[in-house]
């Protein structure tokens, strides 16, 4: 069974993800990523390969970071340990330091017992599937075993956070004075750097969820638990709340009344702003098939094309890289601004969202009103033969019938799960009553036709 999932290697720390696995994975990474043309040229010049290693605050990150650093150094790679920083900071620093690759120890929005290992190639870019497969194969092969002066060093990357903060501040089109922001840092990797950056940018900042103890990451806080943030914003009379997840590659928001502003609405605000300022490549936004129909309608009204990809920020990134697009993301809050980042960056996204409030002197609710969120229902139909969903004519006719009835006022999507015997039925429509009726009707057809 492959160890790489949709976002690196992830699992129960010291269960699935052991120190032995982390060390071997690091050694295999040194073998594979040390074979490229740039790496070979460095070695020909007598230069060592360099890797940046970082982690989020969960307690297992200590031993996993030690194992990764040991695996790399024992393979002749010089390691710069950046400590606790966000995943997008690691990606930025790989490029900023011209390192050969980077390794992030984090399980993102997962609970504390889990952890993960994400590998970034030169330039701070996520690895293609084919390279991950080569690394996995190399784990069973011969490792590099330099001796003497050939082994790598492990040094502290002392100014890692400062470099990242300077980068973030330099991306802003204007300052944030006059706006009160509540930040929820999920007791995660953003706990130090996000409040510092927002304050340096001029915002008034109140912080919650910024006391990591190694076990409380994502525990009732952050982008997957917005109730506390909404309560704090309303109680304090703040202008906006910004929520990160454990490794700060996501950003969701709440307005002054505590209403959620999701990734689709954030992308709509940024896309229109970027188009007005001539920063939106080909007037195009990249989003997944799960983005709300309201996003498509709003973008069409503003002369912006929406390109659709499969679900997953890696697919959004692939499409953005191929077309050179400037903005893309997911409803979940992974927003990629390719002018400044090679991956989703929750702090960068939040800063630019607040900057737009300051630039237009409007509330976040006013800005978000450019998009009407269509009611959406998602039903997981379990214990079905998911592989037949595209071929069953009765199911497909039911989809066509509902699409005809909805016309331009709704949307239907069937997706098979990648890991379970289930089909996801998603329907959007202009009113809640219709969306529930259509989704239930289609789910019944799928259950009847595809039951195991």
CB-CB contact of 65 with 175 (8 Å): no
pTM over 0.85: yes
* Phi, psi angles (nearest 5°) of residue 71: -60, -40
Domain boundary pick from 368, 389, 406? 368
For residue 426, what are the domain limits?
376-450
- Average pLDDT (373-386) is 93
Do 336 and 399 lie in one domain? The reply is: no
pLDDT of res. 294: 94
Residues 182 and 133 in one domain: no
Query: Residue 409 region, left (φ>0) first, then alpha (ψ -120 to 50), else beta?
Result: alpha
Q: Render the burial of 2-32: b for 16+ CB within 10 Å, e for the rest.
A: ebbeebbbbbebeeebbbebbbbbbbbbbbb
pLDDT of 247 reads: 97
Shared domain for 346 and 442, answered yes or no, is: no
| Same domain, residue pair 353 and 440 | no
What's the confidence (pLDDT) of residue 430? 86
Residue 16 and residue 44 in one domain: yes
Range scoring the smallest mean pLDDT among 39-43, 86-90, 177-181, 233-237: 39-43
> Known catalytic residue: 223?
no
Q: Are 138 and 198 in the same domain?
A: no
- Which position has the higher pLDDT, 169 or 434? 169
Q: What pLDDT digit, counting tens, does each position of 247-301 carry?
A: 999 999 999 999 999 999 999 999 999 999 999 999 999 999 999 999 999 999 9
For the chain, the domain total comes to: 3
CATH of the domain at 117: 3.40.120.10
**Statement: residue 36 has pLDDT above 80:** no
Task: Give the tens place of pLDDT for each residue, 15-30.
Answer: 999 999 999 999 999 9
Q: Are residues 70 and 219 in the same domain?
A: no
d(CA 367, CA 52): 38
Domain identity same for 178 and 149:
no
Q: Which of 74, 75, 106, 108 is catalytic?
A: 108
Q: Are residues 304 and 394 in the same domain?
A: no
Which CATH number belongs to the domain containing residue 436 in this structure?
A: 3.30.310.50
Are residues 196 and 274 located together in one domain of the fold? yes
Average pLDDT (324-353) is 97
Query: CA–CA separation, 102 vs 442, rounded Å?
Result: 45
The pLDDT, as a whole number, for residue 258 is: 97
Q: What percent of the chain has pLDDT over 90?
A: 89
Average pLDDT over residues 315-332: 95
- Which of 322, 340, 368 terminates a domain? The answer is 368
Domain shared by 47 and 99, yes or no: yes
Assess whether 182 and 211 both reside in one domain.
yes
What pLDDT is recorded for position 2? 81
Question: Which of 141, 158, 175 is the endpoint of a domain?
Answer: 158
Q: Is the per-residue pLDDT at 452 higher than 90?
A: no
Q: What is the pLDDT of residue 187?
A: 98
At 43, the pLDDT band (50, 70, 90 cuts) reads: confident
Distance CA(267)–CA(364), nearest Å, equals 13
Q: What is the mean pLDDT of the chain?
A: 95
């Amino acid at each position: 069974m492959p160890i790489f999932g949709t976002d690196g290697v992830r699992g129960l720390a010291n269960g699935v993800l052991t120190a032995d696995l982390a060390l071997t994975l690091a050694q295999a990474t040194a073998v594979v990523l040390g074979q490229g043309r740039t790496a070979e040229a460095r070695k020909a010049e007598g230069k060592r390969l360099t890797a940046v290693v970082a982690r989020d605050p969960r307690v297992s990150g200590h031993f996993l970071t030690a194992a990764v650093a040991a695996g790399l150094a024992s393979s002749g790679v010089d390691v710069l340990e950046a400590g606790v920083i966000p995943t997008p900071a690691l990606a930025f620093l790989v490029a900023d330091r011209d390192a050969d690759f980077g390794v992030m120890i984090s399980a993102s929005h997962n609970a504390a017992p889990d952890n993960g290992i994400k590998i970034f190639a030169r330039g701070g870019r996520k690895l293609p599937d084919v390279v991950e497969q080569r690394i996995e194969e190399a784990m069973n092969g011969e490792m590099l075993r330099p001796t003497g002066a050939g082994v790598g060093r492990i040094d502290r990357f002392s100014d890692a956070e400062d470099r990242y903060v300077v980068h973030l501040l330099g991306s802003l089109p204007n300052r944030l004075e006059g706006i009160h922001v509540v930040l929820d840092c999920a007791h995660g990797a953003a706990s130090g750097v996000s409040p510092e950056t927002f304050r340096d940018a001029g915002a008034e900042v109140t912080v919650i969820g910024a006391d990591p103890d190694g076990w409380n990451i994502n525990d009732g806080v952050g982008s997957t638990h917005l109730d506390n943030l909404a309560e704090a914003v309303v109680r304090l009379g703040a202008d906006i709340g910004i929520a990160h997840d454990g490794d700060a590659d996501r950003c969701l928001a709440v307005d002054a009344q505590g209403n959620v502003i999701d990734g689709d609405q954030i992308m709509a605000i940024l896309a229109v702003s970027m188009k007005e300022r001539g920063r939106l490549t080909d007037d195009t936004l990249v989003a997944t098939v799960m983005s709300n129909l309201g996003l498509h309608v709003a973008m069409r009204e503003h002369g912006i094309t929406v390109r659709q990809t499969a679900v997953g920020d890696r697919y959004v990134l692939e499409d953005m890289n191929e077309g050179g697009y400037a903005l893309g993301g997911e409803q979940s809050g992974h927003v990629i601004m390719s002018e400044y980042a090679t991956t989703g960056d929750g702090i960068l996204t939040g800063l630019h969202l607040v900057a737009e409030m300051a630039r237009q002197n409007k509330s976040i609710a006013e800005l978000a009103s450019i998009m009407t969120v269509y009611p959406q229902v998602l039903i997981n139909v379990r214990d079905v033969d998911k592989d037949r969903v595209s071929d069953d004519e009765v199911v497909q006719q039911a989809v066509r019938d509902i699409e005809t009835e909805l016309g331009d006022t709704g949307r239907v999507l069937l997706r098979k799960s990648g890991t379970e015997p289930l089909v996801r039925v998603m329907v959007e429509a202009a009113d809640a009553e219709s969306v529930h009726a259509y989704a239930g009707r289609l789910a019944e057809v799928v259950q009847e036709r595809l039951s195991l």
